[in-house]
Amino acid sequence: MHDLRFGWHIPSFPVDGSDGATFVAQIHHTLRTIHPFFNSIWVDDHLMPWAKWQSNDTPYLECVTTMTYLAAMYPALDVGASVLCQSYRNPALLAKMAANLQLLTGGRLLFGIGAGWAEEEYQAYDFAFPRAATRLAQLEETLRVVRCMWTESPASFDGSHYRIENAYCEPRPNPSRR
């Protein structure tokens, strides 16, 4: 039987209207308090406020840089994305970024990924927002590209949505750490 593990899903923005520096201090205070009771930290992959009650000047944390920072600050905790949006980053680059973070953290990255849904973010950042079936097909190809980057060297893939040719991802992660 496996041990029950707990993770904290950090807010991506201050819910009390705090400025950025105060928000970061609140995160650190909470992590110092809960650290002995949790195994992981989880971060959203949103780029801007999407809830109607958030203002446009609300500080908003980007997922990958936040995970990287928190992994360095809290080396006893795993870090995970809840979840990375496959549309926001090139799949081969995302595979390389995840492999790099896996190396730097000693295998503490929990790689969560999804198809994306926040149409307002897509529009604001000039990302194409295809219908759900297309986003799911892109997610499937993204997973194939990531697997290819992590298992082949060099990696090549030619799909309907994504293509890589002779791409390298060294060192490749070993996701079977646990």
Q: What is the pLDDT of residues 52-68, one digit of tens each?
A: 556 667 788 999 999 99
- Specify the pTM: 0.88
Asked if pLDDT for residue 50 goes beyond 90, the answer is no
Among candidate residues 24, 10, 20, 27, the one with its CA nearest the CA of residue 58: 20
State the Cα–Cα distance between residues 94 and 102, nearest whole angstrom: 12
The 10s digit of each residue's pLDDT in 145-175 is 999 999 999 999 999 999 999 999 998 887 6
Query: Which helix (H) or strand (E) segment is 98 a member of?
Result: helix 91-104
In a domain, 45, yes or no: yes
25-45: b or e for each residue (b if 16 or more CB lie within 10 Å)?
A: ebbeeebeeeeeebebbbbbb
Which CATH number belongs to the domain containing residue 92 in this structure? 3.20.20.30
Beta strand pairing call for 7-9 and 40-43: parallel
Structural domain boundaries, residue 12: 7-167
178 belongs to a structural domain: no
